[in-house]
Each structure stands twice: as structure tokens, then as C-alpha cells.
Structure 1
Amino acid sequence: MPGAVAGVLARAGVTSGSRLCCCLSGGVDSVVLLHALCEARDGLGFTLSAAHVHHGLSPHADDWLAFCRDLCARLGLPFLSFRVAVRRDDPQGLEAAARAARHAALAQVACDWLAFGHHQDDQAETLLFRLFRGTGVRGAAAMAEMEPPADGRAGRLRPLLGLRRARIAAWARERGLAWIEDESNADPRFARNDIRHRIVPAIEPAFPAVVPVLARAAGHFREAGELLDQLAALDEAACGGTMLERDALLRLDDARLANLLRWQARRHGAAAPSRNRLAEALRQLRGTAAQHPLRLSLGALACCAYRGRIWLEDAEPPVPPAPQPWCGEPRLPWAGGWVAFAPAVGAGLSRAMLERGAALRLVPRASGLRLRMAADRPRRSFKNLCQEAGIPAWLRERLPVLEVDGVPAWAGGIGCAAGFACAPGEAGIEPVWRTRA
């Protein structure tokens, strides 16, 4: 057991400088994992701690917390505990709500790796559970043995994922280990318990190796999912990056286009959109004239099409920030996107006029904004300017304005005011507004 665990840690690159935290429920799986990690630590030299999440769902929850605390005290390990409130009316179900609360709590642990006690039977049950719910390739990949740290989040390790539940329990009995039993694990009202206690045992007489075979299938699905992710990355690059070029994107067939948008949604931190929502978005993107702005709901995200670009953004976009000074930085963040300031010649804002300004600020659009876009034209209202520039309604409230000593000199998506425009051949600064970072 310690050898199998150490092998996973070595493949993950765990070294003497690594900080591991064992997610300790008190059940046999996590108790075995904790002891195996203690033994593996002697060879690899990493720092080890444990964390327990008190969900408050069982009348025995306080006893489980005390058990885990005492176990870590006997092993001489630092111990953290978290108390969470679980929504009992969560539309995804109590199990999903408890899982979400647990992971949110564990995300607070200062470590490089969180280690979980999931095993091969858990993997098989997870695959069946997701297939019964109509999952796609990525969902059928179930759990990974290793998820590297990313975006400031600790990595995740499942060192027991290749081992059967029975083998883990046998090792615990041989060592004389104590653990707790969660009575909810026998409750058939929970779908996973029904799979574990009724469905898998019903399959095993005909297919004795059903658990390792399902676990192996999850690995195949994972490989397929990784290839789809690689294809999405290639397609994104070919379509101009995060802000996708409309013409290039629509040359992809529906399957590749949907794969790319799902991949972008996950990178955005959102769940992949449903098949029906995605199909409707593709229908409208292909059936609407290029000059017509679109904002299509994909659930937590919206798919936006504007001026030859297509991108995903939060369905409830960030509000514009408070006014912020511009002191020559190459870019400033703005409402989930950014404004870049690129050197130019004969285009954009006059550098000389900007340098003469005492206070340059990026501000939200003020009520009553009017701009003169050419010396021989009258000042126009913000509404008229947006209509002429084709700026859709959903972008107007987020539009950035650059003020020079309180006077609007540039508005995102609209352009430069005539009084600040760069003359031909003159050194200038050209602001560029991107709605997504």
C-alpha cells in the first residue's frame, strides 16, 4: 500500500519541498491513505497535514471530527477542521451540495496538493452515475489520479485510485487500524449508494471484472477528452485566440465549433453549456448576418458576436469599475476585459495633447455624454454614436471613456474626439477596448 501511494506521488513530482494535505473523513479509505502517506513521507520527505470537513448532516458529525483530531494528534500531524452549511434543497441534490461545500472549504488549505482517498470502486461508480445522467466524453473520464496545481489552486492526488475497496479494507484490518462508518453510505435513497449496493453487485455475476473494466474505460475516455481539448486549443489559435474571428470560427463544422465553445466555457470557470442551448446558439450564429450583434444565453455564460468577433462572457457581466488614473501603462483592466494603449503614428490620440494633460482617467460613461467625432461635424449624443458605431445595447453600460482633465477624449468602440485626434504623421496613442481579458 505505501509503495503504491509513493509511486503516485513520484509520478506527480512530489518532493521534499512539497506540502500535502490529506482530506480525512475518518472512513477506512481516508484513514488508510493517511497512514500510507505517513510511511511514504519517510522516503520522499514532503510536509504532511490533514483536514476534515464537518458537514453537520449526521448526528454523529461531532464524533467524527473528534476521531480525526485524535488520530492526527497520535500521528503528530497538523490538523485543520472546517464547519460548513449544506443546502438541503439544492436542485442538484444533497450529495452534490455537500461535495461543493466540502471542496470550497478544502480550497482554503495552504498546500501544494490535496490528497483524496478515492479508489477503483469509486471510479467505476462515478462513471456509471455519470453515464446514467447522459454525460459526455469529459464527464465519462470520471476522476484523475493526478490534477496538477493551476491558477493558484492546489493540485489533487488520488493515490488509491488503482486499488479495490476490499484490498484497502483488508490492509486496514491487517494493521489493526480504527475508522468510522458513515451510516449515510448505506442509504439507498442516494444514487451512488444504489449503484454501489444494488446495481454493481447485480452486474458482477455476469461480468466479474466489471469494476476494473469500468475504471479502465474511464481512462480511455480521459485520453479522448484530452485529445478533444488539444483540438480545441488548435482551433482557438486558428480562429484568432480568445476573441474568436467570426469568419474563421464559422468555417468549422458544428462538432468542432461546439467542442471549442465547451472548452472555452470550462476555461472560463463555468460548466459546459447544455446540448440544446449550444445547438440554438450555433443555429443563430450561422443564420444571422455578420453585421448583426448577438448575445446568446448559454446558462452561466453568454455567447457574444460583435464586429467580426465572437466570445464568451459571464451572463451577468462585471460592472464598470470606479474611475482609475492612466499613467502610461500599456493596459488597464476594465469590467472583465481591458483597455490597451498602443503607440501609433497618425492614428488614435495625439501623444502631445495627452502629455499636456494634468489628469488622465479611464471612467465609466457619464449620463449625457456627447462627442464631436470630426471638426466639421456637430457633437453627437451617446445613443446616436453607439447606433452609428453598431455598439449593441448590452455593451453600452460597460463602455470605457478616457478623460483628459475631465474632458472626454476617447470612448471605447466609438473612437477619438476630434479635439484630441492625432494629425497625419504625428506620434499618437491608440486605445483598444477588449470586452474580455
Structure 2
Amino acid sequence: MLPEAASRSLKAAGVGPGARLCCALSGGVDSVVLLHVLHVLAPRLGFSLQAAHVHHGLSPNADAWAEACGRLCAQLQIPFSSFRVTVPRDDAAGLEAAARRERHAALDGVDCDWLALGHHLDDQAETLLFRLLRGSGVRGAAAMAACEPPQAGRPGRLRPLLDCRRAGIEAWARSHGLSWVEDESNAVLDYRRNHLRHRVLPVIGERFPAATATLARAAGHFREASDLLDQLAELDHAACGGRALKRERLLALPDARIANLLRWLARRQGFRAPGQVRLGEALRQLRAVPASRPLRLELGDLACCIYRGELWLEENFAGRPQPQLWQGGARLPWGTGSVDFRPAVGAGIARAAVDGLAPVVLDAYRSGLRMRLGMGRPRRSFRKLCQEAGIPAWMRERLPVLWIGGEAAWIGGIGVAADFACEAGGAGLVPEWRPGGESR
């Protein structure tokens, strides 16, 4: 029975009294049945329930679908929200992917703990086959998880019917007199998923009757493997230095583990994992270029940066970071990283300088910047200071500079100006630049 299967899934995710669930309601049979089942379970498990519909505007029937969803929720006395989105028809990712992206972006804004989605076992098998045909790796082949915990302010994802067959869901809808809408695009074979659903999987099922369940079970095996690879990446991350990886330790690992670690880091920082070809070229250069040479390798949305024996990933972005006024805090954001401020004795910038009346601003290089790093030493231009410190050109525009009263007191990766340096035994403040994305 569907309620029992859904209840087991919800309990496994820790959903209980006080949890706030939102059913993503398209109006199709899967989401209508899910809403009905959740409505039955809400008093038993103690969670609150609402529903949300995303109006894509891609079908001439879109208004009717939204109205049908609203009527159903009114009948069940379930709070209902509808969101209109604009889907670019010429999106490079394709219309299906663009609609999915806009839909999830809208649903992420719902005030709830969990989004409940109507995916089922047949969807799982279809997703696995689709991703394998696209050349996905282990993580992609893991297909959909029954539970994805909340992260970064985004509601978690629940798929309470993921172990249920489509036929059982449709039978439940008919036996309970439920009505639903039919999306005419589901029959269009030009869409690759529809072609798999209507043409490929039925043929496979003729020769392999248990194919749907077997494929879904295989997705579970891939998910276990993916989880183990993530655990291995965590271990390698710690062993290679954590926040900024030590190049020498990283290169002691086999290429497959380095690639696994970089993919894991990319996902952890909220980006798509780089593709195999880009990663392969990055690894080739990483091993071929001398350790003393700074390196920046493009990985799509990210860049892999190697400098002074350390490696980190950072977002590919244009322009300089925005100036930040320091007001005594322990950290200021800088680009994809941060500058931390640590109290010290006899080190860093003299505390009296930063506690004075002059404004203290974290900013980038300004024209005419000159600094001397020791008393009695000549002032050097910014360009010369960077050359002497071995800082590559691609990093210079984004180097953090701490300006006190319009004078450069500290440059990340270079050091403290002699005129602002803390005396032996005096109270000081040590700025520490963390260039990677780990602080986000």
C-alpha cells in the first residue's frame, strides 16, 4: 500500500511532529497521488503540509493545470502556492533541463523543511538509463535519492514513492476517484526521456520483465559506491591539508583519487563537477609543471590554482572583489575566499594603527601603490613586490590589500608594511588571506 511505503520513507528521513512539508504539485497523476497520500499521513506523523505548483507557461493548458491544482488543495484544505517562471526556449542545456532548473529554483524559495516530489520506481529506472547513455559516472548513475537533506538554506528533497511502481500509483488514483491532468508533452517522442519511456523501456521489458526493478536496484548500488567515493574524498582532503591542499601530498595520490577529490571539492563549493577531459588535462599539467611555477587551470565554472606549494579551487569570475570596511570583525569576505584577522603579540600590524581614527578598508591594488617591507629598505612598486614574491600575474588584480588612512599596510601573499609593523612585545593583528572557496 502506498501510505505504508511513503510512511517508511518519511520515517527513515526523520520526518515527524513539527516538520514542514511542501508537495511539489504539477497536477499529474504522480504528484496528485503523492499529495493525497501525504494528506492521509500528516495527522499520523504530525507534520504540516502545503503544496506548490510551478506555472512554466510552455503549454496552452498551463493556466488550467494551475487552476486544477488550486481546486484540489481547496478540497483537501491544504495551503497552496503557485509560481510563474519564464523558461528560455533557446537554452543551451535544452528545454527540458531549462524548465527543470527554473522549477527547482522556484520551489527552493518555499518556506518549508522538505520538498516532497512524486518520483517513483519507473522514473528511477528511466533516470539511470538516461544518465548512462549520456556517459555519467558513478554519481550520476546513482540517479535519485529517496532523501536529500537540507543544505545551504535550501529545503531537503523527499521522494516518498520512489519504491512504488507507476502502475500501483495509477491504480490508487482510480480506486480513490482522484482526477489529474495530462501533460501533452509527455507523449512527444522528440524528447529523449519520452523516447526512453515509450519506446526503449517497453522493448527491454519484453525480454527482461524485471528490468525496471533491476535498474532501480542498480541505481542503489551506484549510490552506495558514490557515498564511499565521497568518504574517500573526505579522507584524502584531510590528509592533503584541508582548506588549501598541499601540492606534494596531493601528487602522491593516484590520478583517479585526485580527480575524485577535485570533483568532491567542486560539489562541496556549490559548483558542477568538472568533466573528465578537463580534469585529465589539469592532472597532466599538474604533474608536468615544476613545483616552483604558479599555475591556474580552467575547469569550466571553476579554476584550479596552484601557488607556493598549495592548491585550491576558486570560481571563475571577472573583475575585482568589492572593497570591504573592516570594523573589528574576525573575518571579511574576499572574492571566493576570505581574510581572517588574528590577534597576536609582536606580530602583524600594530594594533594602535588599526584602532585609530583612520578608516581601515580591505581593497585591491590601487594606482601608485608602493611599500617597504622593512625599515631601511627602499619602497617597491606593487609590480616589483609581486615579482619578488613570485606572485603570478593572474593573481595580482585580486590580491587583498589592507588600506589604513589611504596607505597600504598589508598585502596578501607579500606581507606587512614596515611603517605599520607591530613592535616586539606589542599588541598586533595578523591578517591571513585564505584564497580558496572553503570559507563560503
Question: What TM-score comes out, normalization by structure 2 length?
Answer: 0.96
The gaps in structure 2 that reach 5 residues or longer are: none
What displacement does 1:352 show? Answer: 4.2
d(CA) in 2 for partners of 1:91, 1:213 = 33
1:147, 1:156 within 8 Å by CA — same for their partners in 2? yes
Residue in structure 1 matched with residue 202 of structure 2 by the alignment: 201
Moved more, 366-375 or 400-409: 400-409
Residue in structure 2 matched with residue 373 of structure 1 by the alignment: 373
SS across alignment from 2:97: helix
d(CA) in 2 for partners of 1:230, 1:41 = 35
Residue in structure 1 matched with residue 57 of structure 2 by the alignment: 56
SS across alignment from 2:207: coil
Residue in structure 2 matched with residue 361 of structure 1 by the alignment: 361
1:317, 1:335 within 8 Å by CA — same for their partners in 2? no
Distance 1:353 1:193, change over 3 A: closer
Q: How does 1:264-275 map to 2 (within 5 A)?
A: 264-275=265-276
Moved more, 77-86 or 331-340: 331-340
Q: % of aligned pairs identical? A: 62
2:73, 2:80 within 8 Å by CA — same for their partners in 1? yes
SS across alignment from 2:109: coil
d(CA) in 2 for partners of 1:82, 1:428 = 53
Residue in structure 2 matched with residue 71 of structure 1 by the alignment: 72
What displacement does 1:173 show? Answer: 0.7
What displacement does 1:394 show? Answer: 2.0
Q: How does 1:19-98 map to 2 (within 5 A)?
A: 19-98=20-99
1:349, 1:421 within 8 Å by CA — same for their partners in 2? yes
Residue in structure 2 matched with residue 348 of structure 1 by the alignment: 348
What displacement does 1:268 show? Answer: 1.4
Residue in structure 1 matched with residue 414 of structure 2 by the alignment: 414
Residue in structure 1 matched with residue 305 of structure 2 by the alignment: 304
Q: Does 1:384 align with 2:389?
A: no
d(CA) in 2 for partners of 1:71, 1:106 = 19
Q: Which amino acid aligns with 2:68?
A: F
Residue in structure 2 matched with residue 5 of structure 1 by the alignment: 6
Residue in structure 2 matched with residue 143 of structure 1 by the alignment: 144
What displacement does 1:317 show? Answer: 5.7
1:129, 1:195 within 8 Å by CA — same for their partners in 2? yes
SS across alignment from 1:201: helix
2:23, 2:35 within 8 Å by CA — same for their partners in 1? yes
d(CA) in 2 for partners of 1:353, 1:17 = 52
Residue in structure 2 matched with residue 125 of structure 1 by the alignment: 126
1:318, 1:336 within 8 Å by CA — same for their partners in 2? no
Q: How does 1:178-217 map to 2 (within 5 A)?
A: 178-217=179-218
SS across alignment from 1:224: helix
d(CA) in 1 for partners of 2:387, 2:10 = 59
Q: Which amino acid aligns with 2:257?
A: R
What displacement does 1:339 show? Answer: 1.2
What displacement does 1:435 show? Answer: 1.1
What displacement does 1:180 show? Answer: 0.9
2:323, 2:361 within 8 Å by CA — same for their partners in 1? no
1:318, 1:335 within 8 Å by CA — same for their partners in 2? no
What displacement does 1:81 show? Answer: 0.5
d(CA) in 2 for partners of 1:323, 1:40 = 50
1:113, 1:157 within 8 Å by CA — same for their partners in 2? yes
d(CA) in 2 for partners of 1:67, 1:33 = 15
Q: Which amino acid aligns with 1:253?
A: P
Question: What TM-score comes out, normalization by structure 1 length?
Answer: 0.97
d(CA) in 2 for partners of 1:318, 1:219 = 43
Residue in structure 1 matched with residue 399 of structure 2 by the alignment: 399
Residue in structure 2 matched with residue 292 of structure 1 by the alignment: 293
SS across alignment from 1:5: helix
What displacement does 1:357 show? Answer: 5.5
d(CA) in 2 for partners of 1:19, 1:62 = 27
1:357, 1:404 within 8 Å by CA — same for their partners in 2? no
Q: Which amino acid aligns with 1:288?
A: V
What displacement does 1:332 show? Answer: 1.8
Q: Which amino acid aligns with 1:295?
A: R
Distance 1:185 1:434, change over 3 A: same
d(CA) in 1 for partners of 2:9, 2:230 = 24
Aligned residues: 436
